[in-house]
Amino acid sequence: MTDLRPLFRGSWYIAGAPFLKEDSPLITDTTSQEYIDLIENLISSSHIKKAVFVYNASDNQFIKKFSGIMEVEREYSIKHETIKKYALIGTPYRGYLFSYHRLN
């Protein structure tokens, strides 16, 4: 039997009850096989991380690929929120360019 306690992953939150009354979940029966399969799939995929590529901002020279944003945070002592922000907007930060994909 799968553990059906609330599950946290990034900005996702799954619980037995919605946050707001007007929210209506697509899967309403938390004992259904569909719900159990969804939770098992999320748990089995929890090891998957989004790769982060780091480049020198002055010449776009590739520096290193990291398997997750927390590795970048530890290596460069930059908060992960900041890394995410600059990876999404595509502008340099402290001489580095962060990206979720390889740049050509």
State whether 37 and 70 are in the same domain.
no
State whether 37 and 68 are in the same domain.
no
39 is in which domain, residue-wise?
Answer: 7-44
Q: Identify the CA nearest to 65 among candidates 90, 91, 99, 93.
A: 99
* Residue pLDDT, tens place only, 28-80: 788 889 888 888 887 887 777 789 999 999 999 999 999 889 999 999 999 99
State whether 60 and 84 are in the same domain.
yes
Q: What per-residue confidence (pLDDT) applies to 14?
A: 58
Question: What is the reported pTM?
Answer: 0.58
Tokens of 99: 């990206």
State whether 39 and 73 are in the same domain.
no
Measured from the Cβ of residue 69, the count of other Cβ atoms closer than 10 Å reads 20
State whether 40 and 56 are in the same domain.
no
Q: What are the E-state strand segments in 1-104? A: 7-9, 12-14, 52-56, 62-66, 96-99
Q: Is residue 2 part of a domain?
A: no
Total structural domains within the chain? 2
State whether 87 and 64 are in the same domain.
yes
